[in-house]
Amino acid sequence: MKKGLVTTSLALALTFSSVAIPSIPAFNVTEASAATVVNPYNNQTAVNAKADQLIQTAKSLIGQATYSNTEYKPTYPYKFSCATFLMYIFEKNGVDLATYNENYMLEQGVYVPRDQLQKGDLVFFDANKTNTDPSDHVAMYIGDNKVIHMADPQQNIVISDMSSKPYYTTNYVTARRVLPSLLAANPATKGDKIVDSSYELMKKAVIGSTNNPSTNQFTRNGYINHVYQTNGVTLGTTSTTELMKKGTTVSKTNLKKGDLVFFSSTIGSTTPSLVGIYAGDHRIIVPSTGKVLTRVLFVDYYKQRFITAKRVFTESTTTTTTTQPTTTTQATTQDKIASFATNLTGKAKFGYTYNESTLTFTGAGFTYYVFKQYGIDLKTKMASAQSSIGTAVSKANLKKGDLVYFSTNNLGTTITHAGVYVGDNKVVHLSPTTKGVVTEDLSSTWAQKNYVTARRAL
């Protein structure tokens, strides 16, 4: 249910600045003809196990907590709103939603059609259609068409069948799958490891004027340095201004776990006063006075004061050889891209649009979407413009994960189509002819007539 001002321990924990929580504009979700939701992180086993843990914790609180939208009490007798209830059970199981605002929860993860719900998904309802808030209630799906939620002051925590009452059918808004992106990928990336180290340390760290890692005492930037140093990344400075000169600039829309995110103390200023660690899915880890906090970038304070972000590491393994061999991690990413593209067969469809909810794309929209799942921004969904990204690769030297560009007029000159090389002389692409994903042999008549060039974006 819609929350009032949360008091006691939650309010104290969330007081880093005076932050007004704005409404997110209402939006429409189309469920018709939605394609299967794909997990690009290869961590479904961990997701399933974590969902079972969440459900077990949630069920254990039945009869132990009462409803309150003005107070959060994480000890017995518990007091929760619908959103703080979920925030608590996720946190107890090592998963950080970083917010007690259900509208911000609704912006995390990926959209899930109602007929594809899985355990652990967040399900949103809206009984008040007169305001602009997209949702006023959130629950967690537990399987068999049921959700567990802090319902209201009369019922408190209950398990409800979503077909049992008109409320659940007429007020259903949407669902989001958050667990895959909030857990580490398989295998874990360096960004995953940096984030996990930061979460582990934040439980013990005291942030102040002293920097002594042996006693878990850190300055703000001393904490940042220690987390990265633990993961083999030497930043070399504790100055916020100097930190902002490190690495490569990353746009706000292309953030990856482990990126450094910089904020000013004054709206409009480009002078950094605060640096945090991007934790994935709009979350940031921020050293503050006394302790380390987590936030979402939707909050006005951070949204209005964001300056830039920097990527200060690569997934490559350090090598002392004079050659530049392909690293294990890079090869793994190439394999994952090829596998992910192939697995969209029968799921993605061709159309002159870009719609991730229904997996409807042009050929270059398809490649843009595939690479986006691994944090690689191809910048454009137009094949001709996309073909200038990365480095040129000859047809004889293609590797898994390379981008291959074609014409569609059998002349092999003007680039109008794109695909992903998946090995064994084959390319996976979203065919405008069959309207679906196909695996094309580069020896086929069509490919020989239309092949133009290839690029390596990794």
Count: domains in the chain: 3
Domain end among 311, 336, 367: 311
Domain match, 174 and 198 both: no
Is 316 among the domain residues? no
Residue 121's CATH number: 3.90.1720.10
Q: What is the pLDDT of residues 372-420, one digit of tens each?
A: 988 888 999 999 999 988 888 888 889 999 999 999 998 888 999 999 9
Is 321 among the domain residues? no
Domain match, 216 and 147 both: no
Domain match, 338 and 451 both: yes
- CA nearest to 119, candidates 166, 49, 28, 65: 49
Which segment, 176-180, 335-339, 412-416, 442-446, is predicted with the most confidence on average?
176-180
Domain end among 182, 208, 243: 182
**Which residue type occupies 257?**
K
pLDDT, average across residues 117-138: 92
Q: What is the pLDDT of residues 149-175, one digit of tens each?
A: 999 999 999 999 999 999 999 999 999
Domain match, 176 and 40 both: yes
Domain match, 244 and 356 both: no
pLDDT, average across residues 314-329: 45
Assess contact for 19 and 300: CB atoms under 8 A. Answer: yes
Is 219 among the domain residues? yes
Domain end among 163, 182, 201: 182
Domain match, 123 and 205 both: no
**pLDDT given for residue 316 in this prediction:** 57
Q: What is the length of the chain?
A: 458
pLDDT, average across residues 48-59: 96
Q: What is the pLDDT of residues 330-382, one digit of tens each?
A: 557 888 899 899 989 989 999 999 998 889 999 999 999 999 988 888 999 99
Domain match, 245 and 338 both: no
Is 400 among the domain residues? yes
pLDDT exceeds cutoff 60 at 5: no
CA angle 242, 247, 253 (to 5 degrees): 110
Domain match, 58 and 175 both: yes
Domain match, 285 and 334 both: no
**pLDDT given for residue 327 in this prediction:** 47
pLDDT more than 70, % of the chain: 89
pTM: 0.67
Domain match, 48 and 149 both: yes
CA distance 139 to 177: 12
**pLDDT given for residue 35 in this prediction:** 63
Query: Among 18-22, 190-194, 285-289, where is mean pLDDT lowest?
Result: 18-22
Domain match, 253 and 367 both: no
Is 320 among the domain residues? no
Hey, is 103 helix, strand or coil? helix
Q: What is the pLDDT of residues 59-101, one digit of tens each?
A: 999 999 999 999 999 999 999 999 999 999 999 999 999 999 9
**Which residue type occupies 44?**
Q
Tell the burial category of 93 from Cβ atoms under 10 Å away from its Cβ (0-12, 13-18, 19+). middle
Is 322 among the domain residues? no
Two structure tokens written together for 263 = 């904020």
Q: What is the pLDDT of residues 219-237, one digit of tens each?
A: 999 999 999 999 999 999 9
Tell the burial category of 184 from Cβ atoms under 10 Å away from its Cβ (0-12, 13-18, 19+). middle
Is 157 among the domain residues? yes
Q: Domain range holding 407?
A: 328-456
Is 178 among the domain residues? yes
Domain match, 13 and 152 both: yes
